[in-house]
Amino acid sequence: MAVNKFYEVKGKEIKHLKPSCPRCGAGHFMAEHKNRLSCGRCGYTEFRK
């Protein structure tokens, strides 16, 4: 079985491992950087404290 970086499957449950973009919606994951999260599709950025 291949390792997936975006989902974790346990039985019949699927869990997202990375946050989704609030602008683009489900299925568009945000990249995790050292001090921020950013969407590669629309450019939305959230800075961490």
pLDDT tens profile 27-49: 899 999 999 999 999 999 999 98
Beta bridge partners of 4: none
Position 26 in a domain? yes
User: Considering the entire predicted model, what is its pTM?
Assistant: 0.70
Q: How many domains does the chain have?
A: 1
Position 10 in a domain? no
Q: Tokens 């489900």 appear where?
A: 26
Domain containing residue 23: 19-49
Position 36 in a domain? yes
| Model pLDDT, residue 26 | 85
Position 4 in a domain? no
Position 9 in a domain? no
Position 14 in a domain? no
**Tens digits of per-residue pLDDT, 12-29?**
998 888 899 999 998 899
Position 11 in a domain? no
Q: How far apart are the first and last CA of the chain?
A: 37
| Model pLDDT, residue 41 | 95
| Model pLDDT, residue 6 | 79
Position 24 in a domain? yes
